[in-house]
Structure 1
Amino acid sequence: MRKKWNMKKLQLSNVQIVALGFGLVILLGTLLLLLPFASKVPTTFTEAFFTAVSATCVTGLVLVDTATHWSLFGQIVILLLIQIGGLGFMTIALRFMLLLRRRVGLRYREVMVDSINSTRLGGILNLTKEIVAGTVFFEGVGAILLSLRFIPEYGFAKGVYFGVFHAISAFCNGGFDLMGEKGEFSSLVWYSDDLLVNLTIMALIIIGGAGFLVWDDIYRKKRDWRRYHLQTKVVLAVSGILLFGGGAAFLLLEWNNLGADMPFGEKVLTALFQSCTARTAGFNTIDTGALSEGSKILTMFLMFIGGSPGSTAGGIKTTTIAVLLLYTFASVRHEQEAHFFGRSLEADVLQKAVTVFLFNLLFVFVGTLLICGFQPEITATDIFFETFSAMGTVGMSTGITRALRPISRYIIIFLMYCGRVGSVSFAIAVLEKKARPPVTFPKEKITIG
């Protein structure tokens, strides 16, 4: 008698299942991209593997230009990987199970809760339906708006295809583009002054990076700010500060650099776009490699923070940086608790925030040191920029990606994977122990600061 497959028999934790799932998607994507008809020119294993990881982890770092290297089949494979990576493979899997009217057991629901960083198990299937429906709606609207610009330029069929591709890539914070036909690795620099393209891409990035739980909260409570969950308020507040604060800083830093010959309106538009895309999207409307040193540092800061929990974005997340700052200010004022919007934070949230912050910083620092050791000819600033981009699943680069040696490329691959799965989740997946010894050690104080 054939045995029915059951997730419980795997004896894997929820985090391990999510990590393994992304790994299997990457493997399948690599094999598809290695097919002869997936590319216009021969493709090496490293190129296919790097691209599959970058697409599945919605990063956007590339070794080959997407438009000129990959065939239509290869581009569609990349687009599917971006969509799966953005939504999460468990969201896709559960949606198919619901369409096939398959029973969804408790374990599947638990894995889904962990995969989108939700805090509630009840209603998770309805939330999954809302996530898929919302994704189709936003990507569809974005595709229509972008097609209005691309159809006159590329013709109807190609213009619609370009609209769909860039809408999905933007919403999932993927950063892949097809503008290589105008110039390889040029991204959206040809549209730096185009209001429709810029605002549409920015809107998709922001909505995709806000998080599925924030969508659900806003959808249910409409404009009633007072009823929003604390997480929704934190995400919206921090995202607004980073977007407009970062935009103002870029405007100042690039005023006499890349923006020197631009009209005022284009300066403002490129500054806002740079601030938005640095939050894990990966597109660019100006030459990233030509940014001033101050702008590069600011970009790395924004890339490190990233988007929000349960979203298509990476980074340590807006809630993490908010918790760290709130507890820092509370500590300076000698307060026992951190408060925000009339609510006090839970006791264990600081520990989680510190863990995420330090793990991500550690991965970036170690990755940078290793690449510096392997390739001393590349400046440390450019390598830091690349590792922050990979860990934050951003995809922005100063142009050194293609100059990396094989060992350095695999370090970037590792960082992209950890950035999408989560650095802490990856550590848990590898080091997690089922049994914990019932031992309590004596406490002793140490001096801090």
Structure 2
Amino acid sequence: MNWKWLRLSPPQILVLGFAAIILIGSFLLMLPISTTSDEPLSFIDALFTATSATCVTGLVVKDTGTFFTTFGQVVIMLLIQVGGLGFMTMATLFSLVLKRKISLRDRLVLQEAMNQNSMEGIVRLIRKVLLFSLLIESCAALIFTIRWAFDFPIGKAAYFGVFHAVSLFNNAGFDLFGGFRSLTGYVYDPVVNFVAMFLIVSGGIGFIVLSDLVDYRKNRKLSLHSKVVLTMTATLIVVGALVIFVFEFTNPRTLGSLNWGGKILASFFQSVTPRTAGANTLDIGGLRQATQFFIIILMFIGASPGSTGGGIKTTTFTIMLGAVGAMIRGRDDIVIYRYRLAQDRIFKALTITLLALFLVVAVSMFLSTTESGSFLMILFETTSAFGTVGLTMGLTPHLTLVGKLVISFTMFAGRLGPLTLAYALGPKKGKELYRHPEGKMIIG
């Protein structure tokens, strides 16, 4: 992992690394051995699928379960795993296996990839990331295998178990059931629902929080970051389930046809999946418009930092709420759990939110001129791509060539984060040696 000759910054290395993986995946998916069709997959469709897998999104233009062969599906699964954990994490794994030294520059890139404030303990964190991922995915794959052994031959059940464990833990949303059905056939199944929700949440809260939870018995305390992530994640899931339950209770296309147990289970699953998972047990296109717009908000918020998910992140949303609360109360500081937040954290949260909002609005406006569909459908698709969620109201298979390219870029930007992408593409500037005089503006 020697990047010195490239003379690139950590954000630029991340952008180029993910782009290289996407291109490799695209060419592999274009091979005749990857598809069941007599005609090879077009480059644009291969690029879209590889981008969706590497950026752990789950939006698909071709049915994963029927269009791709086992080889193609394995390629997609590997892209999901590498994209979810990050290519630098996988590169570090090979370095550790080969007992190579992790250089300072590698640690800087890892720090950027894991969204850490310092390099301290970064290699130790990577070891935990790999261990947690392998352990959680293996346990979930075993449970899925046992459950699906009642529906399929044992070999197919094991294959389905591994694929969906990897897909759901990495918040990807790809499935092998065919017909773009996702998990709608298991809306009543408690095993599939609870294991899937556990995978989505554990992959979405971030590896730092998972590490804190594992060490809790020894330390008897959680960091401020973990407290905020767990509190906000639980709040969004509970509030989301309640809103979906109320809005869809009488909708015959969704909850209306289910019994009470099915209504509650489906409400919680549809509230969990906007954590950027992309799997669904209800027909997303059949939801009422109010529910669809509410899910757009949940997808925009997304998962948590240092996780396999996208969005502006739960911590960013918490800081924005804290800023509003502090301003209303006339306070100078944002205080969360008796800790005052530094000003640079507030500026970063504001920057990320505005950049994300600008990206979603700009892409939605552009797609409104190229795609046939309602504005809500286009906004839903765009936000799903930015949040690397993978939920769709049915627009994805009907995207135009331009639409596929734009959505691919949106997934790429959402996975890396708009701020990282801006750092990578923007010119390098040194620290200013002067400050301008303070000015006054009327606001509000």
* Residue 283 (structure 1) aligned with residue 268 (structure 2): no
Within the candidate set 342, 349, 356, 1:346 is matched to 342
Distance 1:198 1:301 in 2: 23
- Out of 292, 298, 301, the residue aligned to residue 296 of structure 1 is 292
AA in 1 matched with 2:184: V
Tell me, what secondary structure is at the counterpart of 1:153?
coil
> Are residue 62 (structure 1) and residue 60 (structure 2) matched?
yes
The alpha carbon displacement at 1:437 in A equals 4.9
CA deviation after TM superposition for structure 1 residue 8, in Å? 2.1
- Counterpart among 249, 267, 273 of residue 269 in structure 2: 273
Tell me, in whole angstroms, the C-alpha distance in 2 between the residues paired with 1:368 and 1:347: 32
User: Does the alignment pair 1:381 with 2:380?
Assistant: no
What is the aligned partner in structure 2 of residue 80 from structure 1?
Answer: 78
Q: Aligned match of 1:323 in 316, 319, 322?
A: 319
Query: After superposition, where does 1:398-417 map in structure 2 within 5 Å?
Result: 398-417=393-412
Partner residue, 1:155? 153
Q: TM-score of the superposition, structure 1-length normalised? A: 0.96
Partner in structure 2 of residue 189 of structure 1: 184
Residue type of the alignment partner of 2:392: S
Q: Which residue of 2 aligns with 1:309?
A: 305
How far apart, CA to CA, are the structure 1 residues paired with 2:28 and 2:434? 50
User: Which of 43, 46, 59 is 1:45 aligned to?
Assistant: 43
Partner SS state of residue 215, structure 2? helix
User: Is contact 1:191-1:198 (8 Å) kept?
Assistant: yes
Where 1:120 maps in the other structure, the secondary structure is coil
Paired with 1:349 and 1:436, the residues of 2 have a C-alpha distance of: 18
The alpha-carbon deviation at position 439 of structure 1 amounts to: 4.0
Secondary structure (helix, strand or coil) at the match of 1:40 reads coil
- Rounded to whole Å, the distance in 2 between the matches of 1:248 and 1:300 is 16
The RMSD of aligned alpha carbons is 1.2
Aligned to 1:240: 234
Which region of structure 1 is more displaced relative to structure 2, 122-131 or 307-316? Answer: 122-131
Q: Which of 385, 391, 402 pairs up with 1:390?
A: 385
Secondary structure in structure 1 of the residue aligned to 2:388: coil
Residue 248 of structure 2: aligned partner: 254
Distance in 2 between residues matched to 1:436 and 1:252, nearest whole Å: 52
Which residue, 138, 141, 152 being the options, matches 1:140?
138
Which piece of structure 1 moves more, 343-352 or 306-315?
343-352
- Deviation track 1:211-242 (CA, whole Å, cap 9, x = no partner) reads 011112222223866x2110000000000000
Shift of 1:419: 0.2
Number of aligned residue pairs: 440
Matched, 1:14 2:7: no
Shift of 1:9: 2.3
The separation in 2 between residues aligned to 1:21 and 1:6, in whole angstroms, is 13
**Who is 1:213 aligned against?**
208
CA distance in 2, matches of 1:188, 1:69: 18
Residue range with higher mean Cα deviation, 97-106 or 435-444: 435-444
1:171 is matched by which residue type in structure 2? F
> How far apart, CA to CA, are the structure 2 residues paired with 1:231 and 1:330?
19
CA shift at 1:162, angstroms?
0.2
Alpha-carbon distance in 2 for matches of 1:190, 1:439: 63
Query: Could you tell me whether the CA contact under 8 Å between 1:118 and 1:213 is conserved in 2?
Result: no
CA distance in 1, matches of 2:334, 2:202: 28
Q: Give CA deviations for 1:31-55 in whole Å, capped at 9, x if unaligned.
A: 1001111111121111110000000
Judge which range, 41-50 or 233-242, deviates more: 41-50
Tell me the distance in 1 between the aligned counterparts of 2:161 and 2:269. 18
The Cα of 1:436 is off from its aligned counterpart by 4.5
Q: Which residue of 2 aligns with 1:443?
A: 438
Q: 5+ unaligned residues in a row in structure 2: which ranges?
A: none
What percentage of residue pairs aligned between the two structures are identical?
40
Structure 1: tracts of 5 or more residues without a match? none
Task: Describe the superposition over 1:186-226 as per-residue Cα deviations: whole angstroms up to 9, x where unpaired.
Answer: 0000000000000000000000001011112222223866x
